[in-house]
């Protein structure tokens, strides 16, 4: 029964829940961005859109937002356990990589709960009113577009986030040596600029690179490479 009587066992259980929640969250995120949204843009998808928004989407969003919440909570619990009982410090190369992923993951969680979910509530309510013979909510389209940009930004972030989480344990050469102030000044600004674009992109004009699935994936790969080169250059 070491799994519940030792700190290592509890760390494993929390890590398992972190993986389980993360797979649920990111899996639905990819479904929304890679499958559902492009389908809604087709002729057949357009006719099914209202029914899906009223029927399928609310259920999917429940799993989506709570997957995000449990991923967030278990992830930061693991970080605190590593700092408190694992003997690691914030300046450790492992923690620098984990916290790089954790920063992007935290922005993703915040986007889900404070941008995407509130906006989608308006979109769902508008679809329900129209289906009942009423008028659409005027701001529903703009709120849906804002949610879409935040969702695509989360998809972009997920690519480097997973890279840095994996690199912490499985790419040891990348973790040798740190220059935390310089690293966080440069990498932090880059990550923050991407998040700011999701929140205040003027007139959604800056969503253009994220308008397509391919553009979102390419942007995510580009951000991964950029952050890797920043870390490599500062640590070399």
Q: What is the pLDDT of residues 128-185, one digit of tens each?
A: 999 999 999 999 999 999 999 999 999 999 999 999 999 988 887 776 655 678 899 9
- Are 154 and 108 in contact by the 8 Å Cβ rule? The answer is yes
Q: How many other C-beta atoms can be found within 10 angstroms of the C-beta atom of residue 181?
A: 10
Phi first, then psi: give them for residue 92, nearest 5 degrees: -70, 140
User: Is residue 91 over pLDDT 80?
Assistant: no
Do 96 and 178 form a contact (C-beta atoms < 8 A)? yes
pLDDT at 206 over 60: no
Average pLDDT over residues 109-124: 98
């Amino acid at each position: 029964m070491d799994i519940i009587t030792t700190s290592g066992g509890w760390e494993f259980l929390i890590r398992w829940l972190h993986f389980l929640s993360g797979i649920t969250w990111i899996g639905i995120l990819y479904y929304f961005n890679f499958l559902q949204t492009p389908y809604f843009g087709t002729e057949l998808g357009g006719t099914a859109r209202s029914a899906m928004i009223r029927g399928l989407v609310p259920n999917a969003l429940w799993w989506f937002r709570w997957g995000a919440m449990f991923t967030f909570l278990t992830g930061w619990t693991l970080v605190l356990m590593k700092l408190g009982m694992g003997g690691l410090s914030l300046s450790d190369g492992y923690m620098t990589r984990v916290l790089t992923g954790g920063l992007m993951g935290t922005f993703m969680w915040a986007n889900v709960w404070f941008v995407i979910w509130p906006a989608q509530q308006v979109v769902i309510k508008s679809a329900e009113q129209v289906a009942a013979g009423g008028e659409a909510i005027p701001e529903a389209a703009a709120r849906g577009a804002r949610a879409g940009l935040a969702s695509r930004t989360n998809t972009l972030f997920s690519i480097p986030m997973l890279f840095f989480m994996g690199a912490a344990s499985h790419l040891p050469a990348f973790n040798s040596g740190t220059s935390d102030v310089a690293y966080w000044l440069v990498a932090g600004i880059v990550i923050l600029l991407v998040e700011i674009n999701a929140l205040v992109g003027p007139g959604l004009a800056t969503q253009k690179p994220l308008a397509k699935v391919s553009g979102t994936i390419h942007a995510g790969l580009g951000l991964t490479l950029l952050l890797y080169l920043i870390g490599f250059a500062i640590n070399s």
